[in-house]
Structure 1
Amino acid sequence: MSRPRFIPDNFTLALIVTVIIASFLPASGKIAEYVELATTAIVSLLFFLHGAKLSRQAILAGIGHWRLHLCIFIATFVMFPVLGLALRPLLSPLVTTEMYIGVIFLCTLPATVQSAIAFTSMARGNVPAAVCSASASTLLGILVTPILVSLLLNKNAEGGDALHAVGKIAMTLLLPFVVGHLLRPLIGGFLQHRASVIKLVDQGSILFVVYAAFSAAVISGLWKQTPIPSLIGLTVLCCILLAVVLVVTTWSARRLGFNKEDEITLVFCGSKKSMVSGIPMANVLFPAASVGAIVLPLMLFHQIQLMVCAALAQRYAQRPQSTEESTEETAIGA
């Protein structure tokens, strides 16, 4: 029996529990130092595994559709940041300063890989193009996100320039990702046969990083400085941001003459923001004490996008089957 569309999944529930644990039992003192070192190692492992799981064949299959990919990248790295800035006069009074920094950070992040592809597949969209675009977005984000953060916030969290941030992220995230991908011929089969274990490591890594981020934030007084009206305002802000992006990507796809399959890919890849990439990046880019508040908008947006896009994917999937899809299924069956 499938889970109702508006009930959080198990991973989201685990995230909530992790935040609660960090709120009551935060890592402090010497333990916090060990947690910080472990976080760096775990983040590198996470991106090593993502690189090893990346299928080169799937990327090559979808790489030729440059107009679609360009639209997705514009939505991800241009439209989102512009919206984040444009909505500031209206929405920044609703949230705290650090939360709004988190919203701007959210707007600079790359697209998700797993959920974008899953929803595209569920809605019968262009899956090879979604794999190509989402994977490329992750790689671009390692370079583009710190530059956008520096430009939009007029600072870099570590006090250096954007190039320093890019270099730090490249060493922590990109290098393990590339090494993992280069080793894919040797370890790809091993990882594929242990997909459930790898998924557990994947999600466990994010939970650990979330615990570390919220521990530092709680010790710095996160919940004392975060009023309930600001949390409500943040929810409204995330809903408005997602709604605008979904409307604009759908309208753009139809205006540009994309077929329904490509429209689905643009809508689902162009509207997603990656928590898997975002939380490790925040850990590198921002001081430990502020990371918890800064990733709060991302965690909330993540759950909203999953619930809304699950309903949207089901609606797309109910459309009549096209002639091209029927031909493809006949060819596969033969």
Structure 2
Amino acid sequence: MKKLLAVLNKAGLDGFLLMIGTMILLAYFLPQPGMVKEPVSLEEIANVGVSFIFLFYGLRLSVEKLKAGLANWKMHIVVQLTTFLFFPLIVLASRPLFAGTDFELLWLGVFFLAALPSTVSSSVVMVSIARGNIPAAIFNASISSLIGVVVTPLWVGLFIASATGDFDVTDIVIKLALQVLLPVIIGISLNSRFGKIAEKYKKQLKYFDQAIILTIIYTSFCKSFSEHLFEGFTALELAGLAAGMMALFFAVFFFVGLLSRFFGFSDEDRITVLFCGSKKSLVHGTVMSKVLFQHSTITGIVLLPLMLYHALQLIAASIIAKRMAKRQEQVQIP
């Protein structure tokens, strides 16, 4: 078993990705626990857990770090425009191909993915492996999370009403602000007191984050499977979706690479732009899906492209980051 896990880890597949697959299978074969409402539902537990995720995230952010990160403003603008403008525009350009077909819901899921903020932890990890600008990566991932609270619902709101029949941008932004932004702000304000403790136990907090995400995935797929929403898709079509997610990742990765060269970024900054600009957050996606699609059974389908992208971006990014690190080692050898 250890040898198998080691091989999977080298390929970029960790235990968390395997647990995501397990939750989907569990939702298929045992959906009842995810549908129970009394006395306490798993959905309610996940809602409370989400606020704690972002409270703990804020605890590990200091005002000083955020201020220091503002210096490299040109690089930050490139990353944020790629994340919130270029990504959605690429997917938006493909919409006519899916309009009026059975794949409209999958397209909505891909567009939802494209409108999400960048990842926090994995972006920083990949930048660290590839020997990029780590402080800049932390700053970009943090700012992206805050911007996404407003920008993501505005983008998705353009198309979500036709799929769910229920969407109020103001209401959604307020809910996300209360559930995501407010806990982050409270966490930042308590950083001086509890920041060291949060940093000390970041491994345990990571497991808590993952447990809440897995709970959201499980309950979302319980709903979708109970409504038989996946019965219209073949294995070949789902494989095609995975190939499309891989193509999307490399299209953005190539684009931000060109922008980095155009602006003359240093090697360290270019690495940061590449990994922060091409990644999307599963944490924010699962959280926002609960708010954006709260009265809908389509959440499982909407989350499917994001989960595929999440897995594939980790595999591709880890391979690329390791190659970049090896290349730099070879250059440094006299």
TM-score of the superposed pair, with normalisation by structure 2: 0.90
> Could you tell me which residue of structure 2 aligns to residue 295 of structure 1?
303
Q: Secondary structure at the match of 1:276?
A: helix
Match of 2:256 among 216, 237, 249: 249
Letter in 1 for 2:313: Q
- Pick which of 262-271 and 147-156 moved more: 147-156
Structure 2 CA distance for aligned equivalents of residues 316 and 271 of structure 1:
16
Instruction: Give the deviation of 1:297 after TM superposition.
Output: 0.5
CA contact (8 A) 1:84 1:104 kept: yes
Structure 2 CA distance for aligned equivalents of residues 91 and 97 of structure 1:
5
Match of 2:279 among 272, 277, 297: 272
Instruction: Give the deviation of 1:33 after TM superposition.
Output: 6.7
Structure 2 CA distance for aligned equivalents of residues 20 and 253 of structure 1:
41
Instruction: Give the deviation of 1:243 after TM superposition.
Output: 1.1
The C-alpha deviation readout for 1:124-144, integer Å capped at 9, x for no partner, is 111111111110000100111
Structure 2 CA distance for aligned equivalents of residues 200 and 172 of structure 1:
20
Instruction: Give the deviation of 1:178 after TM superposition.
Output: 1.4
CA contact (8 A) 1:52 1:183 kept: yes
Structure 1 CA distance for aligned equivalents of residues 99 and 249 of structure 2:
16
- Write out aligned runs for 1:167-186 (5 A): 167-186=174-193
CA contact (8 A) 1:149 1:155 kept: no
Match of 1:24 among 18, 26, 29: 29
TM-score of the superposed pair, with normalisation by structure 1: 0.90
The C-alpha deviation readout for 1:271-310, integer Å capped at 9, x for no partner, is 0000011111011001341111101100000011001111
> Could you tell me which residue of structure 2 aligns to residue 15 of structure 1?
20
Are positions 1:313 and 2:321 aligned together?
yes
Q: Which runs of 5+ in 1 are unaligned?
A: 327-334
The C-alpha deviation readout for 1:90-131, integer Å capped at 9, x for no partner, is 577997222111000000000001011111111111111111
Q: Secondary structure at the match of 1:318?
A: helix
**Number of aligned residue pairs:** 325
CA contact (8 A) 1:157 1:285 kept: no
Structure 1 CA distance for aligned equivalents of residues 102 and 40 of structure 2:
31
Are positions 1:104 and 2:111 aligned together?
yes
> Could you tell me which residue of structure 1 aligns to residue 52 of structure 2?
45
Structure 1 CA distance for aligned equivalents of residues 88 and 205 of structure 2:
33
Letter in 2 for 1:173: V
> Could you tell me which residue of structure 2 aligns to residue 79 of structure 1?
86
Q: Secondary structure at the match of 2:327?
A: coil
Structure 1 CA distance for aligned equivalents of residues 146 and 238 of structure 2:
31
- Write out aligned runs for 1:1-334 (5 A): 3=7, 4-6=9-11, 8-26=13-31, 27-31=34-38, 34-90=41-97, 96-153=103-160, 157=164, 159-286=166-293, 287-320=295-328
Instruction: Give the deviation of 1:228 after TM superposition.
Output: 2.0
Structure 2 CA distance for aligned equivalents of residues 73 and 239 of structure 1:
21
Instruction: Give the deviation of 1:226 after TM superposition.
Output: 3.0
- Pick which of 256-265 and 54-63 moved more: 54-63
CA contact (8 A) 1:95 1:231 kept: no
> Could you tell me which residue of structure 2 aligns to residue 331 of structure 1?
none
> Could you tell me which residue of structure 2 aligns to residue 329 of structure 1?
none
Instruction: Give the deviation of 1:29 after TM superposition.
Output: 4.4
Instruction: Give the deviation of 1:155 after TM superposition.
Output: 5.5
Structure 1 CA distance for aligned equivalents of residues 99 and 75 of structure 2:
33
Instruction: Give the deviation of 1:34 after TM superposition.
Output: 1.6
Q: Cα 1:57–1:5, aligned 2, differ >3 Å: closer, same or farther?
A: farther
Among all aligned residue pairs of Structure 1 and Structure 2, give the percentage whose two residues are the same amino acid.
34
Structure 2 CA distance for aligned equivalents of residues 139 and 322 of structure 1:
38
Q: Which runs of 5+ in 2 are unaligned?
A: none
CA contact (8 A) 2:130 2:324 kept: yes
Instruction: Give the deviation of 1:257 after TM superposition.
Output: 0.9
- Pick which of 117-126 and 42-51 moved more: 42-51
CA contact (8 A) 2:46 2:216 kept: yes
Task: Note the aligned Cα RMSD (angstroms).
Answer: 2.5
Letter in 1 for 2:315: M
